[in-house]
Chains A and B, each alone.
Chain A
Amino acid sequence: MRLFALLLLLCCSMQSYSQDCNYTLQGTLQDFHDSSTLAGATIVVAQTGRAVQTDVEGNFTISSLCKSTYQLQISHPYCSTKVFTVHIPADTIKTFTLEHHLEALNEIIVNGNSSSRQTKTLFENTINQETISDFSGASLGDALNNISGVSSLNTGNAVVKPIINGLHSSRIVLINNGVRMQDQQWGAEHAPTIDINTAGSIKVIKGAGALQYGGNAIGGVIITQAPKIPLLDSLYGKTTLSGSSNGRGGVVSSRVTKSHENGWYTSLQGTLKRFGDFQSPNYILSNTGVFERTFAYRLGYNRIDYGVDAYYSYFRNEIGILRASHIAGAEDQVQAISSDVPLIINDFTYAIGNPRQDVAHHLARIKGFKKIKGLGRVTLQYDFQQNNRLEYDVRRAQQQDKASVDLNLKTHTLKVDLKSDISDNLTISTGVNTDYQTNYANPNTGVRRLIPDYTKYDFGAYLSGDYSISSRWLLEAGFRFDYTYMDAFKFYRKSFWESRGYDTQFADLVVQEYGNQVLTNPKLRFKNPSFTLGSTYNFADTYTLFANYSMASRAPNASELFSEGLHHSASRMELGDLQFDSEIAHKVSVTLQQKGERFDFTIMPYSNSIDNFILIEPTGIQQTIRGNFQVWEYRQTQAQIFGIDVDATISVFDNLSFNHQFSLVKGYDLLKNQALINMPASSTQNSLVYTHPKFYNLKIRLLSNFVFAQNEYPNTNFEVVLPQSIQTVDISTPPDAYHLLNFNTSVDVSSSLHLGVSVNNVFNTPYRNYLNRLRYYADDLGRNISIQLQFNY
C-alpha cells in the first residue's frame, strides 16, 4: 500500500525542467507528541526517488531542489509513514512531525484503526488527551460542550447530557471502548454513565454516517477510545489530582499500564470524585453534591495480525438533585418560579440527601480480531452491560431510604465485522450485530413503574464502502437495516386506558385486570432502514470539502411509548403513545475545511429534516387531589432543523493564537408552524492562547463564552387557579443572554509533573441556561478556582 502510494506520487508528479534547481531544504524531524527528535528516519523525495536519512539530532538536508512543490515520504521504524507536501520557493528550513508508535496496539485493536476516521465524508471533531485531562473533574458532557455544535441538556450541574446539532438522548449513539452504551438514555435527567478519565480521545460525528455503530444516530455519534498501548516492554502510568473551590471537592484519577514486546498488555484505571454542595454566585445550591467511583481493567494480547482484548469497567455515581427543585404540581411551580432564590438553602454539606440519583453501570467486553489474507480484517465482539438506576425522592419518613425508581437494564450484544480492502482504492466494511435487552423495574419501590418491564431483541446488518476516484476525490456509500422486537408488560391505569380508547383498540393486549389497573402485553416490531452517501474532495492543497447525506431511522423508546403518569422531576404528567412509528431523519451536511500555515477554519452548515419526529408538549391541565398538573403528551410531527457550526484559528504570532467558535441551530415543527422546544441558543466562544514552549511549556488561555438568549420557542405557559388568585405559570420564557470568562494556565514543572490552574466564571456572573432543567429554581454555578497536578511515571 505504502509502495503503491509512492508509485502513485511518482507517476503523478510533473517535474518542471526549465527552472533553477539549486535550492536546499533543511529539515528537522520531531515526534508529534513530545517534540523529541527522530533519528534514523528515511525521507524519500517522491518526484525524484532520492532518499536521505535523518542524523542523530533528527536533521536532514536535501539539496538541488527546484522552485516547485514536492512530496516527501517520511518513514521511521516507530512511526506511521506520512507524506508531506512541501513548497520550495527558495532555500527552505522546515520542521516535520511524525506520530510515534506505529506499533501502538490501538491502531490494530481498539477500534479498527483509531487514528483513522469513522466515516470518510462527515467531518469529525476530536477531543485530545490534554483536553480530557483538563476536564478530569467534570463530566463527559462538559468536555463535549467545547466543540462547536455540541451543547448540553443539564439537570443542575452534575447531570450533563450532550446535545449534537439540537438533538439529544436516544438520538445520540455513544460508543465507549467499542461498546454501544445502553444506559437508559431515554430520560432527560439521565446522564451518560462514563468516566471521562477512562478515555484517551473522544470523537464527535455530527450525523448518522457511521453505520457500523447503528442506524439510529439521528443526532450523531460520540466515540470514546482507550489510550494507545505501545508494543514494547514498558510500565507507565499517570495520576491526576485536582481540587476545586466550588463544591469544595476534587478528583483523584490514576492509570497504570504494563505492556510487553510479545504482545501482552494490561491496564488498570480508577477514579474517585467527591464534591459537596456547589455554589451559585449568591447562594449555596443545597443538595448538589456528587460522589463518583469508577474502575476499569483491560487485558489483551496483540500479534499484529490477530489479537484479543478484554475490558471491564464499573461506574457508579451518586448525584444530589437541588433540594428546592423537588415540588409537586402547578401551585408549587408558581411559588418556585416567582421566587428569585431557591426556597430551600441550607448550610454547605458533603452529604447527599433526597432527591438524588444513584446509578451503577457494569460494562464487560471481549473482542478478537484476525486479519485473513484475501478476505480482510474480521472482528468478533461480545459485550454485556448492566445499568441500575435508583432515584430517591423526598417521601414520608419510612420510605426515605426506598428508591422511587429502580430500573435494571441488561444488554447482551454480539457482533461480527469485516473490513476488506478490495483494491487499493476500494474498501468495503460489513457486519451484523444482535442485541438482547431486558428491563426490570423493581416493584418494591411502591411507586408505579415509569418504564415497564420489557424484553427487546435487535438485529442489524450493514454494508458500506468507500472508493477513491482520485487521490483528491473519494466517494462513500452505505446501507444498514435494523429490526427491533419489543415484548413489554405494562400496567395502565384503567382510567387512562379507557380515556385513550385503548380498551376497544387494543382489547387483545389485556392480560389481566386488577382493580383500577390493567396489565397489558404489547409486542412491537420496528423495521428501520438507514442509508448514507457522501463525498470528500481536496483542492488547492489546503482545502477539503466534505458532503454527506444520511437517512437514519430510530424506533421510539420505552419512555415515548409507555409513559403514563406523573414525572416527578419535571412536575408534570407525561403521556406516551403506544402507536408511534419510527422517526426517519434526512440530514445533509457540508463541511469546508481549510488547514493553512497561520489560518485554519471549518464551516459546517447542515439541514436535518425528520419525519415522525417525537416531541413532548403541553396539552392541558389535569386536576387531581394534589392540585393541578400540566399534562405533557408525546406527539409525532414533521420537524426541520438547520444550523451552522464555525471554527477558526488564527496564529497571530508563533506563540499567540486566537480561536473562534460559533454555533447556531434552529428547529421548527412544520405541522404546527412553531419553533421546537428546547433548541440550544446560539453561542460563540472566543479564546486567546499564549504558549511559551521554552519556558516550562507555559500555556495561558483566556476564554470568553457568550450564550445568546433563545428567541424562538413555543409558548407553553399555562394558567392555574390558586386558592386566592389565578396565576400564569411562565415555564417557557428562556433566560437572558450571558457572558462568562474563563482563564487557565499550565506549566510542565518537569517532564513528569504538569501543573494547571484554572478559574471559571471569573466575574462570578449569575446566569441561567435555557437548557438546564433546574433553571426555574436556581442560578447556575458561580466562580470556580481549581488546581490540577498531573504526574506521569
Chain B
Amino acid sequence: MILVETFQFNYNSIIKSITMKLLQLNSINPFKLKTMKTMKTSTFYALLTLAMLGCSDDDTTPEIINEDELITTVILTLTPDSGDQVVLTTIDLDGDGPDEPVTTVVGSFSENTQYQGAVQFLNETEDPAEDITQEVIEEADEHQVFYTISDGLNITTTYVDFDDNDNPLGVQITLSTGAASEGSLTVTLRHEPVKPNDGLESAGGETDISTSFDVSIQ
C-alpha cells in the first residue's frame, strides 16, 4: 500500500512538471531562441525531479535472510534392547553452499540384533537449533522417510509410524541386522511423494534429505 502511494505522488508531480513545461513551450514563438532556452530549462527541471526521486531512497543495508526451511543436520539414533547405540549424523551448515556435508558414524551394529531407530532433522543455523522433525510428523501425509540398504549389507528396516491414511512415515523404524557385513545405509526424506508407493524409485516428490552412511555389522 505504501508503495502505491509513493508511486502516485511521484507520478503526479512529474506529470505536472512536464505538462507545465510543455505548455510553456507551446505558447512561445518557435522562431525565437527562447524556445531552446525553455527546452533546456524544462529538461533541467525534469532531470532535477528525477534526481530528487533518486535521492529519496535511503542507503540502509538490507536485512539478512536465514533460510526458513533449511535442514542442516540429520541424526539417526539406533538403540538396541541391550548393548551400544549406533548414531549416524550428517551436518551441512552452509546448505546449498560449496562446503560438503560432514558424515559421522559412531558405533557399529552387532549381528542378529534388533534396533529401535529414530531420526531427527534440525536446522542448526538457528540458535537454539530448530527441530524440523515435528513439522514432518505434523504433515505426515506429505512426507516419507526412506531407508535404502546397499546390496550385501544384511540389514532390513520396517516402518513403525504411519500417517492418517495408514501409509508409512518413517521417523520411527525398527532395524534388524543379520550376519556380519559392510555397506551403505541411505536416509531419504521426500516431501509430497506419491503415497502409498513401492519404494523410493517410484515415489516421486521432492528430496529434502538424501544422505548415505558407510556402516558395518560386526
Contact = CB atoms under 8 A, between A and B. Distances in A.
Interface of A: 306, 308, 310, 324, 326-329, 331-332, 335-336, 343-344, 362, 364, 366, 368, 370, 372-375, 378, 380, 382, 384, 386, 394-399, 408, 410, 412, 414, 416, 434, 436, 438, 441, 443, 445-449, 452-453, 455, 457, 489, 491, 493-496, 499, 511-512, 514-517, 519, 521, 565-566, 573, 622-629, 723-724
Given A362-B7, A624-B95, A380 B46 contact: yes
A366 B46 CA distance: 12
Nearest to B147: A723
Nearest to B46: A414
A626 B61 contact: no
A222 to B, nearest CB: 26
Contacts of A624: 92, 95-96, 100-101
Interface residues of B, number: 76
B154 interface: no
A436 B91 CA distance: 44
A605 to B, nearest CB: 42
B46 A396 contact: no
Given A308-B19, A448-B65, A629 B96 contact: yes
B191 A517 contact: no
A609 B208 CA distance: 43
B11 A495 contact: no
A516 B93 contact: yes
Interface in B62-113: 62-69, 71-74, 90-101
Contact of A328 (B7, B125, B207): B207
Contacts of B7: 362, 384, 386, 410
B161 interface: no
Nearest to A369: B22
Contact of A394 (B35, B101, B192): B192
Contacts of B98: 493, 495-496, 499, 622
B198 interface: no
B3 interface: yes
A50 to B, nearest CB: 38
B158 interface: no
A382 B191 contact: no
Contact of A723 (B14, B186, B208): B186
Given A386-B3, A455-B57, A724-B148, A489 B15 contact: no
B211 A625 contact: yes
A626 B151 contact: no
A368 to B, nearest CB: 4
B206 A394 contact: yes
Most A-side CB within 10 Å, residue of B19, B69, B93, B211: B69
Nearest to B54: A436
B118 interface: no
Listed from nearest, the 3 A-B pairs whose CB atoms lie closest are A446-B68, A627-B210, A723-B148
B125 A515 contact: yes
B65 A443 contact: yes
A404 B142 CA distance: 19
B179 interface: no
Contacts of A438: 57
A410 B2 CA distance: 14
Contacts of B100: 622-624
A434 B98 CA distance: 39
Nearest to B99: A495
Contact of A512 (B61, B188, B208): B61
B215 interface: no
A465 to B, nearest CB: 20
A396 B186 contact: no
Contacts of A447: 65, 67-68
B100 to A, nearest CB: 5
Contact of A516 (B125, B202, B211): B125
Nearest to B146: A723
Contact of B18 (A366, A565, A627): A366
A335 B35 CA distance: 70
Contacts of A457: 54
B150 interface: yes
Contacts of B177: none
Contacts of A378: 39
Given A331-B210, A626-B208, A370 B90 contact: no
B206 to A, nearest CB: 5
Interface string B199-218: 01110111111111000000
Contacts of B186: 723
Contact of B25 (A370, A436, A521): A370
Contacts of A399: 68-69
A384 B10 contact: yes
A495 B139 contact: no
Contacts of B74: 625
B65 A396 contact: no
B71 A416 contact: no
A440 to B, nearest CB: 8
Nearest to A388: B3
Contacts of B96: 493, 565-566, 573, 622, 624, 629
Nearest to B208: A626
Contacts of A398: 135
